Amino acid sequence: MDTRSSFFTGRIARTLLGLKYFIILASSTILTGILSYLLHRSSFRGTHLVYNEVIAVLTLFFYLIAMVLPALKAYHGYMLPLNLALTYLWLTSLIFSSQDYSGGRCRYFSPPGVGRCGLKHTAQAFFIIGFSFLLFNTIHEALMWASHRRGQTAGAGDGEKDRPLATTTGTTAGGTEGERAAQATV
């Protein structure tokens, strides 16, 4: 196993992955609390607010389960597809929160009339933190998965290239050595 492969699958890499999982879990927990408070304080159920709440709750659910994965030695970045999907969903949530809460619009959007601009800006900050760590996590898991795949196939040769093309000996441009020798004497 080369040093690059052991770096992405070693103990330090798993510890960093676990820390990123924890920060993502903490961000989604805080966002779930803030967005639930905003939903509770108002009868307004706008699409941006509900979407943000659903993404935060789904992330909370998946990362409660995923927190144990970096501790397993058999884990080699298999949550990459989920991380990739959640990264795009969090990017959309970040865009929605930026549309609703930036530029002096926080008093009138999502939910309107509640105010609490400081709380809404806090939610926006945790969307930035969560998205950033999900993006770093996706890159880390992709490197971990690729390193594991490379390590599996490093010792094995390509069966298609290692196989002989024909079972008989000879050349393709004129038959066997004996036939060419006979033709050369004639």
pLDDT, tens only, 84-142: 999 999 999 999 999 888 887 777 776 766 778 888 899 999 999 999 999 999 998 88
**181 exposure class (CB count in 10 Å sphere: 0-12, 13-18, 19+):** exposed
User: For the whole model, what pTM was predicted?
Assistant: 0.73
Write down the pLDDT at residue 107.
76
Is residue 79 a part of any domain in this protein? yes
- Across-strand partners of 171? 175
Instruction: Report the largest interatomic distance among the alpha carbons of the chain, rounded to a whole angstrom.
Output: 105
Is residue 177 a part of any domain in this protein? no
Number of domains in the chain: 1
Kindly indicate the confidence band of residue 152, based on its pLDDT and cuts at 50, 70 and 90: low
Question: For residue 44, what are the domain limits?
Answer: 3-151
Is residue 64 a part of any domain in this protein? yes
* Planar angle of CA 154, 160, 164, nearest 5 degrees: 120
Report d(CA 80, CA 78) in Å as an integer: 5
For the chain, the straight-line distance linking the first and the last C-alpha, in angstroms and rounded, comes to: 59
Is residue 157 a part of any domain in this protein? no
Is residue 171 a part of any domain in this protein? no
Which tens digits make up the pLDDT trace of 25-44? 999 999 999 999 988 888 77
Is residue 169 a part of any domain in this protein? no
Is residue 51 a part of any domain in this protein? yes
Is residue 167 a part of any domain in this protein? no
